[in-house]
Chain A
Amino acid sequence: MDRHLSLALTLGGLLLWGTVATADTDEISTRQTSLLAASCATCHGTQGRMSGAVPPLAGRSYDVLRQQLLAFQSGEASHATVMDRVVANYSEAELEAIARYFAAIE
Chain B
Amino acid sequence: MKQGNITRRELLKFLGAAGAVSAAGSLGIAGCSRNGAPAGRVIVIGGGFGGATAAKYIKLFNPDIQVALIEPAERFYTCPFSNLYLGGLRDMQLIGHGYEELKQRYQVEVIHTLAEDVDGSAKTVRLADGRVLGYDKLVLSPGIDIRWDALEGYDQAAAEIAPHAWKAGPQTKLLRDRLEAMEDGGTFILSAPANPFRCPPGPYERVSLIAHYFKQHKPKSKILLLDAKDAFSKQGLFMEGWKAVYGDMIEWVGLSDDGRVVRVDAQAGEVETEFGTLHKADAMNIVPPQKAGFIAVRAGVIDTTGWAPVKPQTFESKMVSDIYVVGDASVAAPMPKSGFCANNQAKVVAAAIVADLDGREPLEARWTNTCYSLISPDYGISVAGVYGVEDGHIVETAGGLSPLGAPADFRQREARYAVNWYNAICQDTWGTSDLPLALG
Contacts and interface: CB of A to CB of B under 8 A. Distances in A.
A42 B429 CA distance: 8
A53 B416 contact: yes
Nearest to B401: A85
Given A7-B20, A10-B16, A10-B20, A89 B397 contact: yes
Contacts of A15: 10, 13-14
A13 B351 CA distance: 17
A78 to B, nearest CB: 11
Contacts of A103: 3
A100 B347 CA distance: 20
B277 interface: no
Contact of A81 (B7, B14, B34, B402): B402
B34 A45 contact: no
Contact of A82 (B13, B15, B384): B384
B421 A104 contact: no
A90 to B, nearest CB: 8
A52 B420 contact: yes
Contacts of A13: 33-34, 64
B415 to A, nearest CB: 10
6 contacts: A7-B23, A28-B5, A43-B417, A53-B420, A100-B6, A104-B12
Interface in B388-440: 397-400, 402, 410, 413-414, 416-417, 419-421, 423-425, 427-428, 437
Interface in B27-71: 33-34, 56-57, 60-61, 63-64
A19 B10 CA distance: 11
Top-7 shortest CB links A-B: A6-B16, A89-B398, A88-B398, A53-B420, A10-B20, A104-B11, A85-B384
Given A3-B23, A38-B347, A45-B427, A30 B14 contact: yes
B193 to A, nearest CB: 26
Interface string A10-32: 11110111110100000111111
B364 interface: yes
B340 interface: yes
Contact of B420 (A6, A9, A11, A54): A54
Contact of A86 (B5, B13, B370): B370
B174 to A, nearest CB: 30
Contact of B366 (A39, A46, A96): A39
B4 A97 contact: yes
A64 interface: no
Nearest to B35: A13
Contacts of A97: 4-6
Nearest to B419: A53
Identify which of B6, B340, B399 gathers the most chain A CB atoms within 10 Å of its CB. B6
Nearest to A15: B13
A27 B60 CA distance: 23
